[in-house]
Amino acid sequence: MSIETKIQIFTSLDEVFSVFSYSQEARQPSQFDRNRIGILGGTFNPPHMGHLLMAEQVGNQLDLDEIWFMPTAKPPHAPGKKTIAAQHRLQMVQKAIDNNPLFKLQPYEVNRGGTNYTVDTMRHFVEEYPQSDFYFIIGGDSVNDLTTWREIDVLNQLVQFVGVRRLGSRPYDSPYSIIWVDSPLIDLSSSEIRLRVYLEQSIRYQVPQAVEEYIMKHRLYMEQ
């Protein structure tokens, strides 16, 4: 084999490896790629099918990478509201979301304890996850209450609010930017489910089966 032929072969191989190297590099995530994370907060007392449907529609329509279900330790917007032990609510949320890889349990506020304000929580997440953008999901019946949230103007800079319309929601009247998501409407509430359990009525198809079994096993909501 002549020296000229060898040079041509090595040159061709070098071109192949250069193309392969470029292709591999192109498939690597860019340092500017950002995760898109939805956050659905609440007492989840208990979590029900309406929560899951809302999160699924938001995640799908906005092409989010994850949705965090974030139970509160003590709800700041409902003074005097009674709830069960936070560990029960964490367990129920985990059971409710187990079969959906998009959904994650976020125990930050429960672990932190006390009264948590969304603006403080989001300051922490923005600092902890600088490569992520956050989409805070709220029901259509809550968007008009945003003006009452602590440091709402600061919070508005930390997250993008996402509104999901609910039956009987008031017309939107707030100065803050909302991305609206259409979702099939299910008229469910945790308070109604708790009452049904107390009255020994069926909650089948209102909560995931694993959540129903957990409620019955631990006899939650069966006493006032």
Domain count along the chain = 1
Could you tell me the residue range of the domain that residue 71 belongs to? 35-185
Is 8 domain-assigned? no
Is 7's pLDDT higher than 50?
no
Which pLDDT does position 75 carry in this prediction? 58
178-219 pLDDT, tens digit per residue, is 999 988 878 899 999 999 999 999 999 999 999 999 999 999
Which pLDDT does position 144 carry in this prediction? 84
Is 204 domain-assigned? no
Mean pLDDT of 145-163: 95
Q: Are 117 and 150 in contact (CB under 8 A)?
A: yes
What rounded mean pLDDT belongs to the chain? 84
Is 220 domain-assigned? no
- Which strands form 160-164's sheet, in the order they lie side by side? 103-105, 66-71, 35-42, 132-139, 160-164, 178-181
Is 90 domain-assigned? yes
Is 25 domain-assigned? no
**136 or 15: which leads in pLDDT:** 136
Is 145 domain-assigned? yes
Is 20 domain-assigned? no
Mean pLDDT of 57-80: 85
User: Dmax of the chain from CA atoms?
Assistant: 93
Mean pLDDT of 84-112: 97
Is 6 domain-assigned? no
Is 31's pLDDT higher than 80?
no
Say which CATH number the domain at 58 has.
3.40.50.620
